[in-house]
Amino acid sequence: MNRLAVPWERYRLDNGLKIVLSQDRTVPVVAVNIWYGVGSRNELPGHTGFAHLFEHMMFQGSQHVPKNKHFELIERAGGTLNATTWFDRTNYFETVPSRDLELALWLESDRMGWMLPAMDQEKLDNQRDVVKNEKRQRYDNQPYGDWDERLQALMYPEGHPYHHPVIGSIEDLDGATLEDVAAFFSTYYVPNNAVLTIAGDFDERQVIDLVQRYFGEIETGAAIPPLPGDSRLEPIIGDTVREHILADVPLTRVIMGFRIPPYSSEHFAVAEVSRALLGMGRASRLYRSLVRERRVAKGVVTYAFPLLTSASMLLTWATGYPDSTPKELEAALTEEIEGLVEAKQREVDRAITLMETDLVRALEHVSERANLLSMFDLYFDDPDRLNHEIDRLRAVTVDQIRDFATSQLGSDNRALLVYEPKRNS
């Protein structure tokens, strides 16, 4: 049974910009969402963190929009806005009362077409400071704050596009120039490298004309250059690689990463469902065993990253109690993960039922519909995938999960970070 029927239509402008429309007039709210096919994986050596710094620059005005005006106009309309940068993509989004759809299109089109004339050194220096403070606040000044940088370095070899973290390094941020901004813009921020989704309350007779009017005259760009570095990768790590970190952290934490098939692979669904068996909800294996029954972990976290390039990552972590030893925590985590070779059908049913509720709840927001439609269109050229997400997960069998546990979750495919509190405090 398929409960989801999110309507969508698709167009493509002559300049290559892909458009997805999804109407829902129940609430007078509309979401505008753009995904650009560029992220930290496109960064050249010595330029780590640049895709994210560039995202900040996109809010510094464009030819017809003075600095701060983007925020000011959207907030004045009663809208919300933001952007995020990740490994494979960068997204920009506004949710506004539907009467202000045209305002959002004006703002997004102006920075897609006419960003560079507004750039100057002062803005770059200002946003570089802001981003450095973001790095300090979210990573450097936080217990465990360097985990992703360390884990990526363990899982992906030097030269692989996922070897370095999205936030980058202070030295590379310091080296960023206005010329870099210009080159990045002309290479990646082109209509043929983007998907624009509009979801929610709009007039279907006018919307395509509006999009054509605002985005149609933006010039198409050259073909997107291949990824820098070497993306070739074995499907498994080949060993257990580990790092032991004595640090100013409150509690022992064991973090395990496993290479899994990329998001584009049909086998990714098996990893997603396996992850849900392990860590989604309180009836999951890790919560039930480590947190509730054995009480060796205060909490567990699991995640299957939807990454596109050669291999993605399944992440699990367990945080101990003040008297936990790293060894017992690692042993307990390993035992439960390996135990997935005996997964039961009942666990699969539970996981899929829970994932279905979560998806329906996410789709209550037009902003989330827009975001998913953009992603499916950019990544897979298939917005309708949204309506088949649950079918895709439901097709996963318990045997596939058992096989996955054998082939991907063993000691030959493990990157381990062990954080242990310094005992001087």
Partner 1 sequence: MSGLDRTQPPPSGEIRHFDFPEVQTGALPNGLDLRICMLPRLPIVSVNLFLRAGEGSLAEGRAGTAVLTGDALEGGTRQRSGSDLAEALEGIGARLGVSTGWEGTSISVSVLADRLPEAFSLLAEVVLEPDFPSVEVDRVREQRLAEIRQRSMDPSALASDEASRRYYAEGLPYARPQGGTEASIRSVTRDHIRGYADACYQPGCGGLVVVGDIDPDQIRSLSGEHFGAWVGSPSVVDDFCVNPETRERRVWILDRPGSVQSELRVGHVGVARTTPDYLPLSIANLLFGGTFTSRLNLNLREQHGFTYGVRSRFSFRSRPGPFTVSTAVGNDVTAPAVREILTELETLVRDGPTEEEVDAARDYAAGVFGLHLETAGQIASRLNQIIVYGLPDDYYHLYRDNMRAVSTDEVTAAVRAHVRPDEVQVIIVGDADSILSSVEALALGPLQVV
Strands 9-12 and 90-97: unpaired
Supply the Cα-derived Rg of the chain in whole angstroms. 23
Whole-angstrom Cα distance, residue 363 to residue 342? 33
Compute the least distance from the CB of residue 354 to partner 1, in Å: 5
Binding mask 5-44 for partner 1 (x = CB under 8 A): -------------------x-xxxx---------------
CB nearer to partner 1: pick between 161 and 279: 279
DSSP assignment of 221-280 equals -PPPPPPSS-----SS-SSEEEEEEEES-SS-EEEEEEEE--TTSTTHHHHHHHHHHHHS
Residue 201 is a binding residue for partner 1 (CB under 8 A): yes
For residue 247 the two structure tokens come to 């640090």
Residue 99 is a binding residue for partner 1 (CB under 8 A): yes
Name the DSSP letter for residue 393. Answer: H
CB nearer to partner 1: pick between 24 and 180: 24
Is residue 224 a contact partner of residue 187, using CB atoms and an 8 Å limit?
Answer: yes
CB nearer to partner 1: pick between 135 and 160: 135
Residue 143 is a binding residue for partner 1 (CB under 8 A): yes
State which of residues 157, 216, 228, 235 lies at the interface with partner 1 (CB under 8 A).
Answer: 216
Whole-angstrom Cα distance, residue 300 to residue 327? 16
Compute the least distance from the CB of residue 261 to partner 1, in Å: 26
Compute the least distance from the CB of residue 346 to partner 1, in Å: 8
CB nearer to partner 1: pick between 126 and 186: 126
Q: Where does 77-177 have alpha helices with state H?
A: 101-113, 121-135, 147-155, 170-175
CB nearer to partner 1: pick between 63 and 411: 63
CB nearer to partner 1: pick between 174 and 230: 174
Around 294, how many Cα atoms within 13 Å sit in the side-chain half-sphere?
20
Residue 235 is a binding residue for partner 1 (CB under 8 A): no
State which of residues 75, 239, 384, 399 lies at the interface with partner 1 (CB under 8 A).
Answer: 75
Whole-angstrom Cα distance, residue 33 to residue 108? 9
Which amino acid is it at 373?
L
Binding mask 371-400 for partner 1 (x = CB under 8 A): ------------------------------
State which of residues 134, 146, 180, 243 lies at the interface with partner 1 (CB under 8 A).
Answer: 134
Name the DSSP letter for residue 44. Answer: P
Residue 199 is a binding residue for partner 1 (CB under 8 A): no
Interface of this chain with partner 1, residues 39 to 68, rule: CB under 8 A: 63-64, 67-68
Is residue 45 a contact partner of residue 160, using CB atoms and an 8 Å limit?
Answer: no
Interface of this chain with partner 1, residues 288 to 327, rule: CB under 8 A: 288, 291-293, 295, 298-299, 319, 321-322
Strands 80-85 and 90-97: antiparallel
Residue 169 is a binding residue for partner 1 (CB under 8 A): no
Is residue 405 a contact partner of residue 343, using CB atoms and an 8 Å limit?
Answer: yes
DSSP assignment of 309-354 equals SS-EEEEEEEE--TT--HHHHHHHHHHHHHGGGG--HHHHHHHHHH
Residue 2 is a binding residue for partner 1 (CB under 8 A): no
Spell 380-404 as b/e; 16+ CB within 10 A means b. Answer: eeebebbbebbeebbebebebbbeb
**How big is the site for partner 1, counted in residues (CB under 8 A)?**
85
Of 122-130, 175-183, 265-273, 306-314, the window that binds partner 1 (rule: CB under 8 A) is: 122-130
Compute the least distance from the CB of residue 351 to partner 1, in Å: 8
Conformation bin of residue 299: beta by default, left when phi > 0, alpha when psi is -120 to 50: beta
Binding mask 326-365 for partner 1 (x = CB under 8 A): -----------------------xx--xx-xxx-xx-xxx
Residue 245 is a binding residue for partner 1 (CB under 8 A): no
Strands 29-36 and 90-97: antiparallel
Residue 208 is a binding residue for partner 1 (CB under 8 A): no
Interface of this chain with partner 1, residues 252 to 271, rule: CB under 8 A: none
Q: How far is CA 206 from CA 13, 213, 337, in A?
A: 15, 11, 53
Residue 220 is a binding residue for partner 1 (CB under 8 A): no
Residue 178 is a binding residue for partner 1 (CB under 8 A): no
Compute the least distance from the CB of residue 282 to partner 1, in Å: 4
Residue 103 is a binding residue for partner 1 (CB under 8 A): yes
State which of residues 9, 171, 174, 217 lies at the interface with partner 1 (CB under 8 A).
Answer: 217
